[in-house]
Amino acid sequence: MKKLTLPISDEDIRALKVGETVLLSGVMMTGRDAVHKWLNDAFIAKTVEPTEDDIAVFEAIKPILDGGIIYHCGPIVSGVDTGDYKFVAAGPTTSIREEPYQALVMKLFNLKGVIGKGGMEAKTLQGCMDTPAVYFHAIGGAASLIAQSVQEVITVHKLDFGVPEAMWVIDVKDFPVVVTMDSHGRSQHVTVYEKSKKVLDELMAK
């Protein structure tokens, strides 16, 4: 099984193909609906003037995301009261909700990939080709198991977004994922969708 450590090089990304299983290690960050909207509004579309705190957080996450990965995940975390954070359950969330923003966020940070579930669509696939980056699919619902690959919670940003929506900076070891969208324009999700649509059309005709 292929092993990759963050930050990941463009060369390593280009070598990844749809269907490959990879074990990821290194420092990554969680980010889902609130984070993508925040990044878009304050730093991409610039419809909202960023606050001092926004700018400080943005500067802090930049080096983590350069060559790095955003994990679409809203974890259950213990020690929220004491600051002694530990991931208890941390499977992927459905990625498609970030479709409007993902390619732009990839470009903004030179992201090398996102981890999620359910796959993404054409705009993100184009982003994967351009950046380059890949879509890593984790196993939805496997939350206790995936939490065990989290070695340490390094810090958290924007905890006021709520525990599931905050940016958790984590150090992971051998996080198991499958490449389902690569940087060459291939998507397992398109393949499966088209095949299933053909079967559906046949069943509908019956």
Partner 1 sequence: MQNLTKEILELIRRTSTDLPADVEAKLRTAYTDEENGSAAQGALDTILKNVELARSNSTPICQDTGTPLFYVHYPEGLSTRKLKKMIVDAVTEATKLTYLRPNSVNAVTGANTGDNSGDDHYPTIHFEEVDENLPLTIELMLKGGGCENVGVQYKLPNVAMHAGRDLAGVRKVVLDAAQKAQGKGCAPGILGVAVGGDRGSSYLASKEVLLTKIGTENPDSELNALENQITEEVNQMGIGPMGFGGKTTILDTKIKGLHRVPACYFVSVSYMCWAYRRRKMTVKGAEVSYD
Q: Which residues bind partner 1 (CB under 8 A)?
A: 19, 21, 34, 73-78, 88-91, 93-94, 96, 117-119, 137, 139-148, 161-165, 176, 178, 180, 188-189, 191-193, 195-197, 199-200, 203-204
Nearer to partner 1, 25 or 188 (CB): 188
Smallest distance from partner 1 to CB 158, Å: 12
Nearer to partner 1, 67 or 172 (CB): 172
**Helix spans in 49-177 (H):** 52-65, 102-109, 122-130, 143-147
Distance CA 130, CA 47 (A): 25
Nearer to partner 1, 109 or 156 (CB): 156
Which one of 36, 72, 157, 189 is the catalytic residue? 36
What would the two tokens of residue 84 be?
């002694």
Nearer to partner 1, 104 or 146 (CB): 146
Smallest distance from partner 1 to CB 37, Å: 10
Smallest distance from partner 1 to CB 56, Å: 21
> Which residues of the chain form beta strands (DSSP E)?
2-5, 21-30, 69-71, 76-78, 86-89, 113-116, 134-137, 150-157, 167-181
Taking alpha carbons only, the member of 176, 180, 167, 179 closest to residue 145 is: 176
Handedness of CA 149, 65, 35, 106 (dihedral sign): negative
Residues 6+ positions from 164 with CB-CB distance below 8 Å = 32, 74, 75
- Is residue 157 annotated as a catalytic residue, yes or no? no
φ/ψ of 126, rounded to 5, equals -65, -40
Smallest distance from partner 1 to CB 203, Å: 5
Residues with catalytic annotation? 36
